[in-house]
Amino acid sequence: MIAIDTNIIIRYITGDHPEQALVARDIIDGESVFVAATVLMEAAWVLRTTFRFARADVLHSLRIFAGMPSVTIEDADLVSTGFDLVEKGMDFADALHLLRVQHCEAMVTFDRKFIKAAHAAGYAFAREP
């Protein structure tokens, strides 16, 4: 198994650089690959900001990618729950941050949008300082 970086995923999904996209396809379709949760988080950000994918399209693309037989996702259950929170309106990075700290008594932030989304998703431990 090899680990892959964000740019391999981006080339695989978007095909924006034809030569690199072919290499990315050969790697992902031909080998067992490991994807760190942080790499997936960065891929979501790149798809939204650089490629202007709609939130639903980012989610759809990453779910398909993560479900491929050759792909192993770090903390797959946590990432899957993160995808569910994105469907409820939360940013993917925020979802992963929130899920990683569930064992704490509170997640403290100045980000009111984050708090509102966390509460709407049933995570009442997010709060302002």
> What confidence category does residue 102 fall into, taking pLDDT thresholds of 50, 70 and 90?
very high
* 19 and 60 housed in the same domain: yes
pTM for this entry: 0.89
Residue 57 has pLDDT above 90, yes or no: yes
42 in the same domain as 81: no
> Rounded to a whole number, what is the distance in angstroms from the first to the last CA of the chain?
43
Domain membership of residue 62 as a residue range:
1-74
pLDDT value at residue 89: 87
Mean pLDDT score across all residues of the chain: 96
Both 60 and 79 in one domain: the answer is no
Indicate if 68 and 102 belong to the same structural domain.
no
66 sits in which H/E element: helix 55-66
Domain boundary among 74, 89, 104: 74
